[in-house]
């Protein structure tokens, strides 16, 4: 017998879940548009090289978490584990580097084979923003302001903390890498196995380790801020000044890093304590070397992505489902009238459900379970008078409704957003 449970790490979005999901996406979409971002969509799968190059051949995502398969033509394809790489690939393959800046937002499913936990699944959804082609701090400030505005639109502005850091420029990171490796090499025995491996290929990632022993070692590590070039220090100062000018509160987290070489300057996360230990709901940074790493021209970029499931768990003012009108036809003749009446009402913006079967009492009970606003009862007596009986299911009041022109009397029952 077939296994009829969802695959581990996936879940169904039932109507209540979907309303939460849509509320996040729609508010994010509307807010991003105010900042001049236009919606883009890239394929759910790409050539594996797109992600192997951008995420790093030795990263955990590439080596452990990607869903990779060979298609019938023998090409290696991967379900997208994140959205930025696809947007960057689209900039290259569509010649968008000739029309900079590119300001795009996207949303959709991503796929990673990792341990499912609260708000994190193997198929999950992200909303993201990318600003490509602007090398100045103005772009960093704008994407951060957009992120903050979206979180405010969702109702989370007071429940999140913006943490920022600078990764400096290439020269800053080279100087810091040398100092960090020198320090960590003296504490190898205290590092976790993962961090020992990262010491060779990606030492900055050790700063972000959650292992208690690693965190104890990292507490006394040299600070990247002490190895910034003057230009990198000025860039970070300009970002902070912009946030302050916009009254966007932030905290500097010197251990906030991005491990790949194409990241630089601003790194940031919006975090919350409402979800337990896994508190990041939106994260991003500047990736000036990404497009060049993929084989395109040298084009700067900055952006972020947010987990829709996590935001949906936090949203409080979830829109209620619209309350329908329920048609209750009693008899074959009434069924035919109800069919055309339902379509007339729907075209006028009403949400209409049909009471398909059962006696009057059963149909009205079902209408109450559907949280219907009113019932339109159609029996032989009503049809003989050219009417329906309009029963207000909140007050119980009944009034005749002329079938020749039903819309004026139903105006008060039309959902406000229709």
Annotated binding site for L-histidine: 82-84, 112, 126, 130, 258, 262-263
Pairing between β-strand 251-252 and β-strand 161-166 as defined by DSSP bridges: parallel
Annotated binding-site members:
82-84, 112, 126, 130, 258, 262-263
At residue 223, what are phi and psi to the nearest 5 degrees?
A: -95, 140
Distance CA 409, CA 205 (A): 65
Dihedral sign from CA coordinates of 228, 234, 239, 241: positive
Distance CA 377, CA 360 (A): 9
> Left (φ > 0), alpha (ψ -120 to 50) or beta: where does 27 sit?
alpha
Residue with tokens 């619209």: 322
The DSSP H or E segment spanning 388 is strand 387-392
Number of other residues whose CB lies within 10 A of the CB of residue 113? 16
**Could you tell me the two tokens for 16?**
């209540």
Give me the DSSP letters along 87-128: HHHHHHHTTGGGSPPEEEEEEEEEE--S--BTTB-SEEEEEE
- Residue by residue, what is the 3-state secondary structure of 31-87? HHHHCCCEECCCCCEEEHHHHHHHHCCCCHHHHHHCCEEECCCCCEEEECCCCHHHH
Distance CA 393, CA 385 (A): 23
């Amino acid at each position: 017998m077939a296994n009829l449970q969802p695959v581990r790490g996936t879940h169904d979005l039932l109507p209540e879940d979907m309303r939460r999901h849509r509320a996040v996406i729609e508010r994010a979409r509307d807010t991003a548009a105010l900042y001049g971002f236009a919606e883009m969509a890239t394929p759910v799968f790409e050539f594996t090289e797109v992600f192997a190059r951008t995420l790093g051949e030795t990263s955990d995502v590439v080596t452990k978490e990607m869903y990779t398969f060979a298609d019938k033509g023998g090409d290696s394809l991967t379900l997208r584990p994140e959205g930025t790489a696809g947007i960057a690939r689209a900039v290259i393959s569509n010649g968008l580097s000739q029309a900079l800046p590119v300001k795009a937002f996207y949303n959709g499913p991503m796929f990673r084979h990792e341990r499912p936990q609260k708000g994190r699944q193997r198929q999950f959804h992200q909303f993201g923003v990318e600003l490509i082609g602007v090398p100045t701090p103005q772009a960093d400030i704008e994407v951060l302001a957009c992120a903050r505005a979206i979180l405010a639109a969702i109702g989370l502005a007071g429940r999140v903390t913006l943490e920022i850091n600078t990764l400096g420029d290439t020269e800053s990171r080279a100087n810091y890498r040398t100092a960090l490796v020198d320090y960590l090499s003296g504490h190898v025995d205290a590092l976790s196995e993962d961090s020992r491996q990262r010491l060779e290929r990606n030492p900055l990632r050790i700063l972000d380790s959650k292992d208690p022993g690693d965190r104890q070692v990292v507490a006394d590590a040299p600070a990247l801020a002490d190895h910034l070039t003057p230009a990198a220090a000025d860039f970070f100062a300009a970002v902070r000044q912009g946030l302050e000018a916009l009254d966007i509160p932030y905290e500097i987290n010197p251990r906030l890093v991005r491990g790949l070489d194409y990241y630089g300057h601003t790194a940031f996360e919006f975090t919350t304590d409402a979800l337990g230990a896994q508190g990041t709901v939106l994260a991003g940074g500047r990736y000036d070397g990404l497009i060049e790493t993929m084989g395109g021209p040298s084009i700067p970029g900055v952006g972020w992505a947010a987990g829709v499931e996590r935001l949906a768990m936090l949203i409080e003012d979830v829109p209620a489902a619209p309350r329908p009108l329920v048609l209750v036809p009693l008899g074959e003749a009434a069924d035919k009238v109800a069919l055309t009446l339902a379509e007339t009402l729907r075209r006028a913006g009403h949400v209409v459900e049909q009471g398909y079967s059962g006696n009057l009492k059963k149909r009205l009970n079902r209408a109450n379970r559907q949280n219907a606003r009113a019932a339109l009862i159609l029996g032989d007596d009503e049809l003989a008078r050219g009417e329906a009986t309009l029963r207000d299911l909140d007050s119980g009041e009944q009034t005749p409704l002329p079938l020749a022109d039903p819309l004026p009397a139903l105006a008060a029952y039309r959902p406000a957003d229709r």
